Structures are given as C-alpha cells and as structure tokens.
Structure 1
C-alpha cells in the first residue's frame, strides 16, 4: 500500500522540499528544446501556485527541484486574484476566459456559495508541494505528447520528496547536492557551465535563480534576505559548492583518469570501517538520503516533525531522528535506509 506523502506540519509557516521525478523507463527525453519548455512551465506554475524554486537541475531523464512552500494563507483568494493568476498561464483548464464566465454566472444567480466553491477548487493546488508538482508535470506532459505525437504518461512513478530544514546548513547542503548533479554525472566540470541547473542559471545572470540562491545562503547564515547582497550570496554559495576543490573530467599527466567522486565500493568500505566523510565529499556522491530520506535536518528539526506526525509511526519508536551513515558532524533523517545508501 502506497504511503501518504510526508508534508510539513500545519504549524510550519514555510516548508522546504527536495523533489525528484524520473521519466518512464529512464528514457532520455530532455533535449535543449524540452528543457527550455520545462523551465517556462516551471516559472509559470511557480507563480500560480505561490511557491518558490530555490534551485533545480534538469538532466536528460529526470529533474530535481528545491522548493520553498509557504503555508496556505488564512484569507482565501478572491475571484480577481485567481483570474489574474490564470491569465498569466500560457495554457490551462479552465482558461481565464472560461473561469471569468463561470464566476459571472454565479454572480448573476446570486450564488456566493457556488462561486466560493468554484474558486477554492481552482486554488486547491496552491501553496502545496503535491499540487504544484501535479500541475507542472501534467502541463509538460501535454506539451511533450503534442510535440512528439505520442499519448500516455511520461513519468516513471509519483515524484519523491524530502522535507528539508530551512535554517542552518541543511538547505545549502541539499542545494549543493542538486547543483552538483552535472559534475557527478561527468557532463560538466563546473556547475556554472551547465545552464540547466540553478547555479548555472544564476551565474549567467538569471534573476530568479540568483534570488533563490540568496534565500539558501541567508537561511544558512540565519539573516534576512535583504541583508545579503546577491553578489555576496553567489560568492558564498560557490565556496560552499567547491569546499574541497573542483573535480575535473579528463586525465592526469601520467594518463590516469580523473574521478568525479568516490567509487561506491570505496565509500561502503569507509562506512563499514566506521570512517567518516566530510560533507563536501558526501555531496559528490549519489546518496539516497537526499531523495529517499523523507525529512532531512538537525536532530531537533527531524524530531519536531516526528512529534507533530507521531500517529504515522510505530508507538515503539522512541524518536524520529536517524544519523546519516558515514558523515562527520551528521545530519539526521526520519527514514532509516537499511540498504543501498550510496549509488
């Protein structure tokens, strides 16, 4: 039986999620045109749903997003606010014109309750990680199927999500893990060279990407966003990305291949010997905690989420936090991974 998605408790004013979704059969469908179109829809639905994309990485058969999702406001959207949001979308069902006609009909019939129900139904995907991902993936699938003359789903399964602590280094850790994907995959020597990730877009001057990285660094330093300039934030984020120096593709002077990270058996050997890895080295690995861990943060943060959602876990479990395997000064996760931590 499929488990309900773990989301932030209602008491959280804002939540952060790492979301990952793969193409069915791991097909390589994201070329340049597809990535451009995906980014277009990403921006549109980010605005419509009231979320913020802090960073991202679009690869040939999957994508990563780091999202900031505010709690749903207590004051519901007005009809005018909803219509303005619909008009900003390139295509939607219903269209802004159709929604405007429906609202006019409710008002002509003096049916305030019907109008409110209609508006609330269209707003149901706002301020919600599942609603945002559903809209984004459906819209891209519609475009892709029409463009390729195909039918059916293009996604392997429901997306994965990890609830990430927003304060301290956890958010920056997850962001770096996402932006280092092209380096780990060997398709870029430096993430600034990869235009389909948040850091690459920010380095090229994209305003939204730069703002997202400023949020990440401000959260790490626990300062207000407006107290941190964007150039300073980008510089600090780059230092964070390359804490252990840049790894490059190619060969040494003696002809030995350079590696993008540790081999899986080397990492497992270190963990088995109870050795510890520096955080910077951890980020160069494909670590399942970052996609399968459910919640990621300090012990206090993970246990706060665990306590708020206590009914979802066994009464025999004394606390939620589990340390990440093999990491010096560990982060904690809510889901304990018993196999294939790396790779």
Structure 2
C-alpha cells in the first residue's frame, strides 16, 4: 500500500508488536514512546487522532493532510521539534539550517528537499519512531538488537466520521480489553485517557472524529443502548459461539471490547463504495485480488473491509 498519497487527505490505523509478543514496556517505556509519537508526528506534519500503547504493542491512528506546502519557517520549526539539540546522527543546529534556507544556498536547497521528502509519509514516521525508540531502549538497558517483530501493520480508513469513530474506539479500548482498567479514561497511555486528563493535543485529535466528543463517548461506553455492556471484555469463546454457532450478532460496544482482526489484519475499512475503489485500484497483475466484504458480527453501520478474512473474526 502507498503511504504518501499526493493531494488527498488520508487516514490510517497503524500497529506494531514486539518480538514474540514479549511484554517489554513498563510505565517508563510507554511514556517515552508516547512522547516520541507526538514529536515525530509533528515533524512529519501528520496529525495523531488517537493511540494506545500497551506492554507489547502499540496502535496509532493518524490523519495525513492533503495540503503539502511547507514554508521555510515551518521546516525550521519542525526541525527544532525533531532535533531540539544536536545529535551524533544530526549535528547541525536549527540556526544553521535556517541560515542556509534564508540565503538560498545550494546546501539549503538540498536540505529543504531532503526534509520535505521525509514529511507526510507514515512509512517514514513509523520507521523513524521504531528506530528511535529501539535506540533509546537498548541504550537504557545496555543491550542491542531489534525489539520489533515485523514491519508495522497499516489499515487505510475512510474519512467518513462513523468509520473513523469506530476504529478510534477500538484503539482506545485496548486497555479495557486487556483488563488493565474498567474505563478507558483511566488509562494514561491512550488518546482518550490523555484527552480526559487535560491533554490539548489529544483532545484536538479526537475532535477530528467527533467535535463535541458526545457521539464518541456513546461508541466507547455503549450508552445509547438499553443495557450497558459488561465492564471489561466479552469472552472470546462466547463471542465465537454467538457468531459461528448461533449465527447471531453482538452489540457494537461489546464487539469493540474483543480483539477483532478487521482492525489489524484488514487492508482498508469504510463504506462499500470506498473499499471497492481502493481494492480495485490496488489490484496487481498476477496477485490474487482482495475483495470488499461487509463487516459481520455486529451492527457496524454499513462498514466494509477489504480483506480475505472470513473466519476467525476474533483473535
């Protein structure tokens, strides 16, 4: 999948897991990773909608803007965000970059092109995030080697508010599914928890999904239904029985408290037309084409997924 679509605003759910699913991240590690997500996204010109950092993996949902014009002043500002101090890997100070850009030197032209090339690209953002965190993690433990199991997973999400809200809620409910908290606002390492704790950036991110947050809270808590779902997770065995044996459906707020493969192993999520266009546009010669399927198991509000997943909805 291309991760730099010129002239179009795009939304992605991104996820990466540690080697072997090992629980490497305590509070300190999760806090460092949280700060790095905001820092590298800001340099990239990518907006974080929400995120969740767990003990062995993390999720982040982002908006990549369609407008890509970046002034020299903005390049310098973003450079300062990414490199507040010189490093062995980037010894140049922001003042030097600013001077080259203002004077129009050949080196300035080269630096401008190189820095802009790294912006508005989730592949570069995730590669840099994982590399920086690995370097910090290894240095803090006097170890070496990778801590990540594979390349990050990426799901393209339609910019429709319902699709964005559903995927964002799935991300923010990670700690509830894991049994770490009963209420997502109590988990400090997710976008909703940070927003409810007064984080302005996190609140602005979630306002992309729902400006007044009321509808988003409905999706998180199921407050629009007659009966509120159980406080933690819905037993996988029970969920599979309802879906596979009884051929029934579960309330959306309950399903979002299960680990649903659509959100990590799918390819694209959105309305049937949106998914169909993405599937047809991404077809490659000699490769079995993906198909658009209506999401099953709950009332998903008409959402479809571009994937071959038909069984094992829950992991």
TM-score normalised to structure 2 length: 0.86
Corresponding position: 1:202 with 2:181: no
SS state at 1:322 partner: strand
Deviations 1:204-260 (A, max 9, x none): 111111111111114xxxxxxxxxxxxxx23432222111525335xxxxxxxxxx2
Q: Of residues 89, 94, 106 in structure 1, which corresponds to 2:90?
A: 94
Corresponding position: 1:337 with 2:309: yes
Corresponding position: 1:140 with 2:133: yes
Q: Of residues 27, 34, 39 in structure 1, which corresponds to 2:34?
A: 39
Corresponding position: 1:281 with 2:260: no
Which structure 1 segments of 5+ residues have no match? 219-232, 250-259
Structure 1 residues 272 and 299: alpha-carbon distance in aligned structure 2, compared to 1, 3 A threshold: farther
- How well do the aligned residues superpose, as a CA RMSD in angstroms? 2.8
CA contact (8 A) 1:19 1:64 kept: yes
Corresponding residue of 2:292: 321
Which structure 2 segments of 5+ residues have no match? none
Instruction: State the distance in 2 between where 1:62 and 1:163 align.
Output: 19
CA contact (8 A) 2:53 2:189 kept: yes
Per-residue deviation, 1:278: 2.9
Instruction: State the distance in 1 between where 2:95 and 2:306 align.
Output: 42
Structure 1 residues 265 and 148: alpha-carbon distance in aligned structure 2, compared to 1, 3 A threshold: same
TM-score normalised to structure 1 length: 0.80
Within a 5 Å distance, the mapping from 1:159-308 to structure 2 comes to 159-218=152-211, 233-243=212-222, 244=225, 245=228, 247-248=230-231, 260-264=233-237, 266-308=239-281
Q: Comparing 238-247 with 197-206, which one deviates more in the overlay?
A: 238-247
Instruction: State the distance in 2 between where 1:136 and 1:72 align.
Output: 23
CA contact (8 A) 2:163 2:270 kept: yes
- What is the total number of aligned residue pairs between the two structures? 307
Deviations 1:156-209 (A, max 9, x none): 100001001111311000011011111111110110111111111111111111
Structure 1 residues 240 and 313: alpha-carbon distance in aligned structure 2, compared to 1, 3 A threshold: farther
CA contact (8 A) 2:97 2:108 kept: no
CA contact (8 A) 2:243 2:297 kept: yes
Instruction: State the distance in 2 between where 1:137 and 1:332 align.
Output: 30
Q: Which has the larger radius of gyration?
A: 1
CA contact (8 A) 1:303 1:320 kept: yes
Corresponding position: 1:65 with 2:63: no
